[in-house]
Every structure is written in C-alpha cells, then in structure tokens.
Amino acid sequence: MKKTISGVLLALTAAFAIVGCGKKKSKGTINFYCWNDEFKTRLNKLYPDVEKAEGSKTTLKNGVVINWVQSANQSAVYQGALDTGLENEMVDMFCFEADYATKYVKSDYVADMGALGIDQSKQYKYTKDIVTNASGKLVGSSWQATPGIIAYNNKVAKAAFGDNADMGAKLNTWDAYKTTAGELKAKGFKEGSTTEYKYYMNIGTDDWFRVYQNNLSAKMYNGSEITIDKQLYQWIIDTKQFVDDNYIKSTADTYGLWGEDWGKAQGGEQCLCVFSCPWFTDFCLNGNAKPDANGDLGYRAVKGYASWFWGGTWLTATKKAVENEEIKDTVKDIIAKMTTDTQILTDLAKEYGDFCNDEAAMNALAASADGNSKLFGGQNVFKIYAESVKSADLSKASDFDQQICENIQNAFRPYFQGTKTATAAQAAYVKALGEATSLRYEDDSKDSTKKAQIKVDSKVQITDAGITINA
C-alpha cells in the first residue's frame, strides 16, 4: 500500500511539474568550439529555441546552455585549440572550414549525420563531398555555400569608364581583366602626385589568391608529403606582373589580407575590384565600405573571369555529444534546423546575404525580387552566386591547405615588395611550412632515407630572376 501511495504521489508531482512549468528543464551544456561569431550570431538570431544570449553563453528554452569557445583562426591557432579540446573530450560541437576539413572528416571524433537523422538531400553537392568520409558517411553539415564573385566599385567604374560601361564584359575573361587594368592605369596619376595613380585594379597582393587555390591540379598532401601546386606559383607570377605594372595599389603589409589599409581601401574610390563571396560581403564589405542612405555599399557584382569559391563553414557533433542523454537531442536539432530547414535558411539569406545550402531555396531567391540586395544597389546577386556555385569543387582539398596557403602569401610578400629574390622567398616559405606542419623541408644529407617531405610541382622553376612554369 505504501508503494502504491508513493507511486501515485510521484505521478501527481510529475504531472504538476509539467502543467506548472511547461516541459522539464534540462541542465546540459554544449561546449561549441569556433573561430569567430559567425555561426553564433546566426543561431542567436534565428534558431527558434533560443531563450537568452549573453556573451559566450546561449541559453535555450529547454535549459541547455551553449558555451561558445572561440580561438583565432590565423596560423592554425584554432586547430591547435580544437585538437587539444578533442583529445581531452571537452568538445561537443565544433565548426571547421574547407582548408582543413579533411583532417577532421577522417578523424574518429565526428558523428555520422545520417545516423542522427539529418537530411542533407537539398544541399549543394560540393558541400557534402568535402564531409564524406572513407566509409561514405556524411560527418558534417553546412548552412552556406560560398561561390566567388568580383565586386566592383561602381564609383570607380563610372568615373573611369562612364555610366554605361559594360563592366561584365570588362571583367569576364583574363585578357579582358588585364586590359581593363591597363585602361585604369592610363587615366594617369592622382592629382598632385607623380607616383600614385588615380585608379588601381586590385587593392593588395592577396586579393585574388583564392581564384588560384580553388583551381588546383591535384591534392597537395598525400598523407606523407606536400607537393606545392603550380597554381600557387601562377598566382605569384601574375601578382608580380600586376605589381610591376602598377595595377595593384600597394604591396605593404597593411594592404595584405585583413590589414588595416586593405580594409580602408574597400571604402575608398581608387580600387576597382574586390574578390568577394557571400560571407565576405557581410563581414568585410559591409563594414569597410560606406553605405549611402539606402544601404547601398557602392559595389556591383559580376561573375568575373574565373570560377572559384572562398572557404565556407561546416558544423558537426562529436560522438561523445550524441551519446550524452542531456544534450544529444538538442545537438541534432541545432544541426537539422540551422543547416537544412528551408525557412530558416531563406531567412538567413535575407538577413545576412548568405548564399545558403539549399539549392531550391537559393534558386527561388535568384528568380525573384526577394533576392535583391540593398548592399548591391538592388542588384539580385543571388543570380550570380547561383551561376558561380555550379563549378564549385572541393575534391582537391587536403589536410594542410591552411598552412600551405597562409605561409606562401606571407613568405612571398617581400618578393612582391622587391626586398627578396624568388629563391630567397621560396626558402623562407618551405622553412615556415615545415615548422607549421612538422614535415621535413629539406633533404638530410647524412641520411639518404630522410628525404624532404615538402616539394614543388615539377613544372615549376624558381631562380633569383623569377618563377616560370613549363608546359
């Protein structure tokens, strides 16, 4: 009898709790590793179950708290923090980008999205290919695709070429791009100067790097050796020619990617082209350019002379997290809603200009006024994104792409500045890359078995005089 009464009392107590408080509160915590606040901002804004967001904590309606653990992405600092967290079982969810996606996709830490019930059938193929492991399982999911465009400064275009110039035709082939750069230079020097030109084609030496990186001939890391692709050296050749021809505003460090003057130049009226993508427009142009009263940044978009994309962010869950009864349902729901829910993805696209990872939804925006962007003066930039994304390909991504690409840009800046020869810059590059990856960057003459693990495409020739690529 006592057991029966106790059972009734427990049932009544539980029922009262449900009636009085809605649903039972969970007290689980999701440790979410990331390198910036991009995903956090979007989740806090559009995930329907957010109750409160303060600083590095987001509290959900079911009581689960997301603890955002953020580290800088540059120089692989984030990868180091994430690796430590994974090794110590401190990570529940995390973001990763294309430059090092393969490293985590083939790891034992990440959960199978299919087993979680995540339906990724509406997503762009290339965003799924990069997160498909050797067993054919999808182990990550992204809310975005990141097709590249050329955003041109409309004030510069009108001042240099008139109101009715066909800028698409001036930028749609490599030959046309070079010709347009020469036409800008021909407008002469800035008033009062004999060294600074009125207009430049590009801002800095790093601006178009991703065009080359996204058109590699092969994977650069095979599991034991790095072979630096000839496309990266083509970037050096083309950039050096543009520097020598005065088509690039400055080679100074502050005009490098993320530099202070590089950002300021995006808001100026001297440089024509910015190599952009959806997240770049939101994070960079939207902060660096000066919008008018209507929110127009003064830029217009064209597809440009090459097909390319820039990065992208994927999220995943650890196996530990999906086995944790307190948080596993919430983890699944976050991934499902934030990367596959058509309405949320459409709202993200409208709110932030993201080209989201739902092909049908993005095609709908490209075909309607809903895709018109005030940032681009009412232009429907989704039409251009939808065309550019068709050729996106991540099949040549490999583990050390971030280290390979960051270090080559840093090492060859002195070459562009005229303070180092090509051979000296190359020596500095492979040394830095070896230190960043712990791979041997030169042969050990005392031990014939210890060959360099960092090599250069055999068609590339580097001398003090410069770089050539043999056919």
Helix/strand/coil (H/E/C) assignment for every residue in the chain: CHHHHHHHHHHHHHHHHHHHHCCCCCCCEEEEEECCCHHHHHHHHHCCCEEEEECCEEEECCCCEEEEEECCCHHHHHHHHHHHHHHCCCCCEEEEEHHHHHHHHCCCCECCHHHHCCCCCCCCHHHHHCCECCCCCECCECCEECECEEEEEHHHHHHHHCCCCCHHHHHCCHHHHHHHHHHHHCCCECCCCCCCECCECECCCCCCHHHHHCCCCCCCECCCCEEECHHHHHHHHHHHHHHHCCCECCCCHHHCCCCHHHHHHHCCCCECEEEECHHHHHHHHHHHCCCCCCCCCCEEEECCCCCCECCCEEEEEEHHHHCCCCCHHHHHHHHHHHHHCHHHHHHHHHHHCCEECCHHHHHHHHCCHHHEEHHHCCEEHHHHHHHHHHHCCCCCCCCCHHHHHHHHHHHHHHHHHCCCCHHHHHHHHHHHHHHHHCCCCCCCCCCCCCCCCEEECCCEEEECCEEEECC
Whole-number Å distance between alpha carbons of 221 and 250: 32
Burial classification of residue 123, based on how many CB atoms lie within 10 Å of its CB (0-12 exposed, 13-18 middle, 19 or more buried): buried
Among 272, 268, 288, CA closest to 280: 288
Q: Is residue 25 part of a domain?
A: yes
Q: State residue 448's pLDDT score.
A: 78
Q: Is residue 72 part of a domain?
A: yes
Q: Is residue 383 part of a domain?
A: no
The domain of 328 spans 17-144+311-353
Token representation of residue 153:
């400064």
Whole-number Å distance between alpha carbons of 34 and 416: 33
Q: Is residue 114 part of a domain?
A: yes
Q: State residue 15's pLDDT score.
A: 40
Query: 253: phi > 0 → left, psi -120 to 50 → alpha, else beta; which?
Result: alpha
The answer for residues whose C-beta is within 8 angstroms of residue 320's C-beta and 6 or more apart is 89, 91, 92
Q: State residue 210's pLDDT score.
A: 97
Token representation of residue 442:
């030169």
Token representation of residue 287:
């902060």
Q: State residue 23's pLDDT score.
A: 45
Burial classification of residue 34, based on how many CB atoms lie within 10 Å of its CB (0-12 exposed, 13-18 middle, 19 or more buried): buried
Q: Is residue 104 part of a domain?
A: yes
Q: Is residue 436 part of a domain?
A: no
Can you say whether the dihedral through the CA atoms of 465, 466, 470, 471 is positive or negative? negative
Token representation of residue 85:
């967290």
Q: Is residue 132 part of a domain?
A: yes
Q: State residue 26's pLDDT score.
A: 55
Token representation of residue 459:
């068609």
In angstroms, what CA-CA distances link 428 with 418, 445, 460? 15, 20, 17
Among 121, 127, 94, CA closest to 309: 127
Q: State residue 27's pLDDT score.
A: 78
Residue 438's CB is within 10 A of a number of other CB atoms, namely 7
Q: State residue 6's pLDDT score.
A: 40
Phi, psi of 383 (to 5 degrees): -60, -40
Q: Is residue 65 part of a domain?
A: yes
Q: State residue 333's pLDDT score.
A: 98
User: Average pLDDT of each block of 10 consecutive residues along the chain (471 residues)?
Assistant: 38 39 66 97 98 98 98 95 98 97 97 97 97 98 98 98 97 98 98 97 98 96 97 98 98 96 97 97 94 95 96 97 97 98 97 97 97 96 96 94 97 98 98 96 85 96 96 89
Can you say whether the dihedral through the CA atoms of 354, 360, 363, 367 is positive or negative? negative
Whole-number Å distance between alpha carbons of 140 and 230: 30
Instruction: Decide: 467 and 236 in contact? Cβ < 8 Å.
Output: yes
The answer for residues whose C-beta is within 8 angstroms of residue 152's C-beta and 6 or more apart is 167, 171, 272, 273, 274, 299, 300, 301, 302
Whole-number Å distance between alpha carbons of 234 and 155: 31
Can you say whether the dihedral through the CA atoms of 36, 38, 44, 47 is positive or negative? negative
Residue type, 30: I
CATH of the domain at 33: 3.40.190.10
Looking at the 3D structure of the chain, how many domains does it have?
1
Whole-number Å distance between alpha carbons of 251 and 360: 42
- β-bridge partners, 299: 153
